[in-house]
Chains A and B, each alone.
Chain A
């Protein structure tokens, strides 16, 4: 945890260090079908955070014992590239990556129609290419796009964004510098079309009022993120000329 004193994360006019307003997200880029081998893939960027996701399946798992008789097994790996951070990250999976793989899988379980593919596995690989805050929520957004790109039936698309509390103020989509000095970091993932919050964590100290206010900020932003996902998916499949 970094020292929290003697640091100002707001400019005099109330905007953040990178010029954003408190409820403003970083510039978002989304692209689907970026990989040839994968059944579905996506590259999503939130500012300098870049995350690649690929989906393989439904397919027969290599380890034959990993099956559920009446639905597919979802397998998720969240992994950070060694060059994604300022100091090289060892490629061996860290405890953080193990936890985040679970949290992201559990954010996707409510939307993937796994009961349509019994005895199979759907594999979702998330590689963080550059980490600048919000990698789990960017990864979740990329995974949602990659699943849709793979043609896997889903109840709804999901998107994610983190809300931070810095110097007592709630801000949307915190980046790495803000996260280092934040009093709290609250990643949220949701499927707005079915009204479900599917990823929810708080690291830090907040009052209940702040949590609900931050949650509403995140949900409003996720609405916009999921609309962007729909546009990107539509534009890929509307390119066909007759």
Chain B
């Protein structure tokens, strides 16, 4: 059952008023304008045992993504495709409001929005993941680990997922006469085939203002949030309104305008980090 959040962190009214009076001047408490994301740091290959990994810092928010690739069976209706699965864990060390236990509705929503945005556009080439049609395919697990929560987990998670996938290596395997498949963990067949790169842009609606990349304090005072996923061609490949308030049609137009600009910043950071890696 989904419930109105009843244990939300308290943000003093004075702080909220300060935030909004700054927005009025086009400024924010951390020296940003309303439309620029925080400083982005992307480091790939941080977990050697994973086939792909990335640590993303978006301001003080930190998300670690690990890609594991294993042999499994395809879904019955897609015998000629591998499988992509995204999971998110809000581990309790990341925030005083995270409790141990199975993923809550926020973690499930995050994983599902990231999953859909990658899946619908065909970001990972699933057809290249078939070992034996209808029987054996590669299963790509993307596990998102939020390790420090200072707002905007969607954008940090998508950057981490994308950086981990783009640097992931497909393991090699040996097929025995019995049909058994042994994965050779130390040998790779080459990079995982990626067809599209996706980023999400999260904006928060605070009163009359739409701001990009909210911090945790800003998310707490925000009325609602909109997550827009876009690919490298500028197409919308996913969207989710999340939060307690509604949007007017005009506000949605505004969200799209603002998201386009911020998406460019995310793509630039991602491509620079991947180019550095070679």
Contact = CB atoms under 8 A, between A and B. Distances in A.
Pairing of A with B? yes
Interface stretch (A30-38, A51-59, A97-105, A170-178): A97-105
A66 B119 contact: no
B1 A75 contact: yes
Interface residues of A, number: 53
B241 A77 contact: no
Interface stretch (A12-20, A129-137, A211-219): A211-219
A206 interface: yes
Please classify the interface of chain B as helix (H, G, I), strand (E, B), loop, or mixed, using the class held by over half of its residues.
mixed
A153 interface: no
B108 A74 contact: no
A98 to B, nearest CB: 5
Interface string A77-104: 1000000000000000001101101111
B105 A197 contact: no
B236 A1 contact: no
B108 A98 contact: yes
Interface string B101-130: 000011011011000100111000000000
Interface in A162-218: 184, 186, 190-191, 194-208, 211-212, 215-216
B261 interface: no
A68 interface: yes
Contacts of B249: 195, 197, 215-216, 219
B6 to A, nearest CB: 5
A114 interface: yes
Contact of A98 (B2, B120, B244): B2
A102 B105 contact: yes
Contacts of B242: 102-103, 106
A229 B245 CA distance: 22
Nearest to B242: A106
A68 B6 CA distance: 6
A187 to B, nearest CB: 10
Nearest to A66: B6
12 contacts: A73-B6, A75-B1, A75-B4, A95-B111, A98-B109, A106-B242, A195-B249, A200-B239, A200-B240, A201-B241, A204-B120, A215-B249
Given A106-B224, A200-B226, A212-B252, 15 more contacts: A68-B4, A68-B6, A73-B3, A75-B2, A95-B112, A99-B108, A102-B242, A103-B240, A104-B2, A110-B244, A195-B249, A196-B248, A200-B252, A208-B256, A219-B249
